[in-house]
Structure 1
Amino acid sequence: MSSELELSFRPDLDLTELMRQRAQSLQQRGQKRQDGERLLRPNETVYQLDFSKQSLKFSRWSVCLPDVARLTITATSQLWTPDLTNLMNRQLLEPAGVFWRGEKDQIVQFYEADSYEFGERIAELAKIRKVMYFLFAFGEGCNSETVNCSAIFTTDS
């Protein structure tokens, strides 16, 4: 028998702040990022997804955005610890999940094939980890206060 499991993305404010400090430190010292390093942009926040179960099958997204908004979610392929290693571009997974609402949109729009593949990749990585990290890039009138996002999976009980 299978049941649904909804996992909510939670902002990781400590990790976001640590990554912002790295970018700020480089800027203050006039240094450049390492080759291939990915610095956090001002409109980005680090989120995490905790897996209470490891055997998941992606079902669908639940994304709530304000009237006009754009959200891009990029997954990281491995755990990274900013105190020891920097986030590298090669650690970012493709495709990203892109969700938006225009002025005339009643519901959140998204690229269906990419978003489904993105969800399936998350389910695959859940088999080998308990937590996963994501970069949420906010655009066009949304921010971490106005966005609510979760992924719904099916799981065998």
Structure 2
Amino acid sequence: MSSDADTTIPSGALVLTFTQDASLTEVMRQRALSLQRTSQKRQEGERLLLPYEAVYRLDFPVQALAFTRWRVSLEGHGRVTVTGTSQLWTPDLTHLMSRQLLDPMGMFWRSPGDPPRSPLKCLEADMQEFGERIAELAKVRRVMYFLVAFKEGAEQGKAEFAVEFVPEQ
């Protein structure tokens, strides 16, 4: 489901790559810094961006999709957590609230003792459910936003994420 090595794309499949939204990431970082500088508290339920997180987006050129598999690569070892958001995000008007985060999250990891090119590990049932949830949301959205956390040695520039779908007939 999430192999670093398998790069073959079946005929008719659509592979959508997550892209970092640098401006939205910066807006969220500035919000956290502003609260810290002014010694203010976040709004009740507000979810602030942590230093090891970044905002990514997934654009849907087609609305009717069926989830096939995740395509994730990670150089070295570490843990990457992908959390979807449930709203059309307008950071200039609203803050991200914890209740807007989707379950399950996607978690991919490679332990420090694993060979550098060994397949990534994940919780397959959660990844299947998460992929299907994304496909459902694609039916009503053109874009979806995600918080991606890089932990335990994972680095942003050394990880890539994509989801493979097939168009529904």
The correspondence for 2:52, drawn from 38, 43, 48, is 43
Tell me what 2:103 maps to.
94
The root-mean-square deviation of aligned C-alpha atoms, in Å, is 1.2
| CA distance in 2: counterparts of 1:22 and 1:79, whole angstroms | 19
Which digits, 9 at most, give the CA deviation of each residue in 1:102-140, with x for residues without a partner?
122510110000011000000000000000000000012
Aligned amino acid, residue 40 of structure 2: Q
**Secondary structure of the equivalent of 2:157?**
coil
CA contact (8 A) 1:66 1:141 kept: no
Larger displacement relative to structure 2 (138-147 or 42-51): 138-147
Which stretch of the first structure deviates more once superposed, 23-32 or 103-112? 103-112
**How far 1:69 moved relative to its partner?**
1.3
Asked whether the equivalents of residues 71 and 164 of structure 2 are also in contact (C-alpha less than 8 Å), the reply is yes
SS in 2 for 1:115: helix
| Runs (5+) with no aligned partner, structure 2 | 1-10
User: Once the 2 structures are TM-superposed, how far is the Cα of residue 156 of structure 1 from its aligned partner?
Assistant: 3.6
Using the aligned pairs only, state the percent identity. Answer: 56
Look up the equivalent residue of 1:130 and give its one-letter code.
R
TM-score norm. by structure 2 comes to 0.89
Q: Which amino acid aligns with 1:104?
A: D
> Aligned pair 1:133/2:142, yes or no?
no
1:14 and 2:26 equivalent?
no
Q: Equivalent residues in 2 for 1:76-155 (5 A)?
A: 76-102=85-111, 103-104=113-114, 106-155=118-167
Q: Shift of the alpha carbon at 1:143?
A: 2.0
2: distance between equivalents of 1:122 and 1:39?
23
Task: Spell out structure 1 runs of 4+ moving beyond 2 A.
Answer: none
Deviation at 1:80, TM superposition (A): 1.8
Q: Quick check: 1:25 aligned with 2:37? A: no
CA distance in 1, matches of 2:100, 2:155: 24
Aligned residues: 156
The unaligned stretches of length 5 or more in structure 1 are none
Structure 1 residue identity aligned to 2:144: M
Name the amino acid aligned to 2:44.
Answer: D
Q: Deviations over 1:34-93 (max 9, x none)?
A: 000000000000000000000000000010012211100000001121111100001000
Whether the aligned pair in 1 keeps the contact of 2:66 and 2:168 (CA below 8 Å) is no
Paired letter, 1:57: A
Q: Provide the TM-score with structure 1 as the length reference.
A: 0.96
Output the CA distance in 2 between the equivalents of 1:129 and 1:144: 26
